[in-house]
Structure 1
Amino acid sequence: MITTTLFEKIEQWLNENKWEYRSRENAGIIEIDMGLKCELKQCQVIVWMKEGQCVVMGRVPIKAEEDARERIAEYFCRVNYGLYSGHFDLNYSDGEIRYKTYLPESTDPDAQRENIGEALIRPAMMFDAYGPGMMKVWRQEKAPAQAMEEM
C-alpha cells in the first residue's frame, strides 16, 4: 500500500530539483504547472494519492468541443494501443483531456528517485509528442489514422 512516505519522497524530489509545486498533503495532492513545447503551451500535472495508489495525471487547459470528441477519442485509442505506460483520456461529458500514469513505490532509494522523475515529466512529454497530432485531428486537418501515421 502506498503510504505518506511516498508523498514525502515526491516532495523531497521536487525540492531537491528546485521545482515549483503546490502541496495539499491532507488531500494527498501535489500540483505542478509545466510548460510544453507544442501549441498546447502548458500542462498541469497532478500527483494524487488515492486508494493505495499514486496516480500521476496531466491535463491541458483546453476542453474538446462536442463535435470533435469522437475524432479525438479515435486518435487517443490509436495512440494508447502502442503505449507501454500510461494512457490518454477524454471525458465525453465535458471534453477534459488528460494523460494518466502511475508511480510505483520502491524499496530501492535510487530506483524510487528515478521513478519519481520519470513519472512527473511523462505527462508533459506525452502531450508534447502527441498533442500536435491531436490538434490536427481536432481542427479536421488530418483523420486520426493519418495523424498517427505521421508520428
Structure 2
Amino acid sequence: MADALAPFVTALHELGWPAQADPARGRIRLGVNCANGQFVVAIEVDTDHELVRCLVAYPVRISPADRAAVVEYLTRVNFGLPAGNFEMNYADGEVRFRASLPTAAGALNVAAARHLVQQSLATADHYVNGLLQVEYGNVSPIEALREADSPSESEPAADEAAAR
C-alpha cells in the first residue's frame, strides 16, 4: 500500500501541500483551499480493485429537503464530465467528487498522481457554487449548471486551475 501512495506523497510535497499520510491504512488526508471553497481530500489505496481513489469532500452537508434537487444537479454535472463523478450519501447529505487511477502495471507515477489530485480539485471547485445555489439559493439544478458552465472572466481556465 505504501508503494501506491509514494507518488502522491511526492506530488503533494512538490505542490507545497501538507498532508497526513497513513501508509499502514493506505490513506492520505489533507485540506485544500481553492478559489471557490475549502475541501478535504482523501487519497485511498483500494487493493481489492487495484486502484487509488482521490475523494474531494464538499464543505457542507445537504439538508434532507434539498437532497433530490442536489442529486439532480450532480447527475446533470456527471453526464458531461470527461472523468470522475460526483456522489451524494443520501443518509447524511455528504457530497464528494471521486476519481481513480489503476495501481497495476506501473500506471502510478508522480505526474499521474499530481494530475489526479489537481483535476479532482479543479472539478470540485468548478461546480461547488452551483451546488450551493441549489442548496441555499433556490436555484434550479438546470440553471445552476448553466451558470457553472458559462465562461466567466474571473474564473481561470480549466488548464490554469489544474496547474494550481
TM-score (ref. length: structure 2): 0.80
2:127 is the counterpart of 1:133: no
**Residue equivalent to 1:115:** 112
Letter in 2 for 1:47: I
Q: Shift in Å at residue 148 of structure 1?
A: 1.6
Moved more, 56-65 or 67-76: 56-65
2:24 is the counterpart of 1:64: no
- Distance (whole Å) between structure 2 residues aligned to residue 25 and residue 108 of structure 1: 19
- Distance (whole Å) between structure 2 residues aligned to residue 108 and residue 130 of structure 1: 28
Q: Shift in Å at residue 12 of structure 1?
A: 2.4
**Residue equivalent to 2:152:** none
> Does the CA contact (< 8 Å) of 1:75 and 1:145 recur in 2?
yes
| Superposition pairs of residues 18-37 of structure 1, within 5 angstroms | 18-37=16-35
How many residues get paired?
Answer: 145
> Does the CA contact (< 8 Å) of 1:45 and 1:123 recur in 2?
no
- Distance (whole Å) between structure 2 residues aligned to residue 75 and residue 13 of structure 1: 32
Partner of 2:133, secondary structure, is helix
2:43 is the counterpart of 1:43: no
Letter in 1 for 2:143: Q
**Residue equivalent to 2:7:** 9
Letter in 2 for 1:107: G
**Residue equivalent to 2:75:** 77
> Does the CA contact (< 8 Å) of 2:4 and 2:45 recur in 1?
no
Residue among 81, 84, 87 paired with 1:86: 84
Distance 1:149 1:23, change over 3 A: same
Partner of 2:90, secondary structure, is coil
Q: Shift in Å at residue 145 of structure 1?
A: 1.1
Aligned Cα RMSD in Å?
1.8
